[in-house]
Homo-oligomer: A and B are copies of this chain.
Amino acid sequence: MSRKVEHIGVLGGGLVGALNSIYLRKRGYRVSLFEKRPDIRKAGTDSGRSINLALSRRGIKAMQDIGAFESVKDILLPMEGRMMHSLEGELTFQPYGKEGQFINSVSRGRLNEILINKAEEAGVEIHFEHTCHHVDLNKTEVSFTSPKENVTYQFDLVIGSDGAFSQVRQEMVKIPRYNYQQYYIPHGYKELTIPPTEAGDFAIAPNALHIWPRGKYMLIALPNVDRSFTCTLFFPFDGDPSFESLKTPKDVKQFFQKTFPDSLEHIRNIEEEYFKNPTSALVTIKCFPWVKNNFVLIGDAAHAIVPFYGQGMNAGFEDCHVLNQLLDKHNDNWDATLTEYQLLRKDDADAIADLALDNFVEMRDLVADEKFLIQKKIEARLHDQFPKQWIPLYTMVTFSDLRYSEALEAGKKQQAIMDEVMKRKDILKNWESLNLQEIVDQL
């Protein structure tokens, strides 16, 4: 006998919670969405979380499903590749894919506003300023405090889209034999701003994701619609240099002058902004199961990942897309849907979590390496000549909807082949005359 589902509670009105509410409402369910913060449309964007994100294929597909992509187009800024800034201020551009392939810098707050509007239009009942303080996994009940009252609701199903520190998951962890992992990398991040020039223009090229790769750490910058850039310093918490070792405004200024000299022309007020803005941690969460009784985890609540592949939001949106597809497949039989959902998505979530951790090394270190960039050029040629046989890993992850787990496996195989290719004599000189057929044949 399957669950009877009419009324669904959605915990968390962030990007994934809002999007998923729309999917569910469109299927005809009664949907109640609870968000602890005030209405973002009145309160302005929230602070403390990263301001802009990279929307790509998987996220776009979900936005299209619910008919929201057209409304978002105006706030997207295409980034066609990485722009590396060397210590000497030299620029190197590495395209993300073929011509016409790009990822989209987008404001988390603006996107959230649009999704909340769409959810409201679709008939989702939205409760802001409702802080969940108790989850009862057996009774399918959730208790909230709000400025007006303490209230307990019962649902037929609850979706926990309540983020990396999910309260639904905190209840699930107490289940016997629950598998759980929280892994913090030794780096944190801090956001800084490059404002528009005095003439009101972008201070650096707007169609790229800028990286100052410095081996153990890096600075990046993504463009905003207001022609500013949001920079993020990914930097160790401890050691030298680190957030801990830069103690005074003078330390910060000197460190940036030495390490990111060409950024200082553009980041004004570094001494002030550095100490005003928070330093945040970077966590990977893995857990299983994602479904217990009538509770389901989705998005960061099920699989928080580090941001280095630009896939956190895209993976969460793809969860919603997959859940919706499975409801189609199983004619809204939730038992069959949820069983398949968690088995299917767990492998993919684990894969993108690992890929995202690996990509930090690529971004902060490898992109400054000539050999690495040549390898990427060879792979781009392979893809040009054998577009169906050799698809670079970044392309599979970002511009396709191949399962993340399959992309990871294919990427490993390609990397093993390329490791051998890159060992060949004088490869840095001869790479343009490689026999590409012979490489592809190794797949």
Contact = CB atoms under 8 A, between A and B. Distances in A.
Contact of A176 (B178, B180, B281): B281
Contacts of A237: 177
A182 B176 contact: no
Contact of A181 (B176, B177, B183, B283): B183
Interface string A146-175: 000000000000000000000000000000
Contacts of A180: 180-182
Contacts of A179: 182-184
Contacts of A281: 176-177
A183 B173 CA distance: 11
A177 B237 CA distance: 10
Q: Is the contact region of chain A dominated by helix, strand, or loop, or is it mixed?
A: strand
Given A176-B281, A281-B176, A181 B181 contact: yes
Interface string A174-203: 001111111110000000000000000000
Nearest to A286: B181
A177 B176 CA distance: 24
Total identical chains = 2
Contacts of A184: 177-179
Nearest to A284: B179
A180 B181 CA distance: 6
A337 B202 CA distance: 53
A286 to B, nearest CB: 8
A180 B176 CA distance: 17
A16 B178 CA distance: 26
A184 B287 CA distance: 11
Interface in A250-291: 281, 283
Contacts of A182: 178-181
A278 to B, nearest CB: 13
Contacts of A178: 182, 184
A349 to B, nearest CB: 16
A291 to B, nearest CB: 14
A201 B139 CA distance: 56
Interface in A112-134: none
Nearest to A237: B177
A195 B207 CA distance: 76
A183 B288 CA distance: 9
In this complex, which of A177, A181, A182 has the most chain B Cβ atoms within 10 angstroms of its Cβ? A177
A362 B184 CA distance: 32
A182 B184 CA distance: 15
Interface in A281-309: 281, 283
A293 to B, nearest CB: 16
A46 to B, nearest CB: 20
Contacts of A176: 281
A178 B237 CA distance: 13
16 contacts: A176-B281, A177-B184, A177-B237, A177-B281, A177-B283, A178-B182, A178-B184, A179-B182, A179-B183, A179-B184, A180-B180, A180-B181, A180-B182, A181-B181, A181-B182, A181-B183
Given A177-B281, A178-B182, A180-B180, 9 more contacts: A176-B281, A177-B283, A178-B184, A179-B182, A179-B183, A180-B181, A180-B182, A181-B181, A181-B183
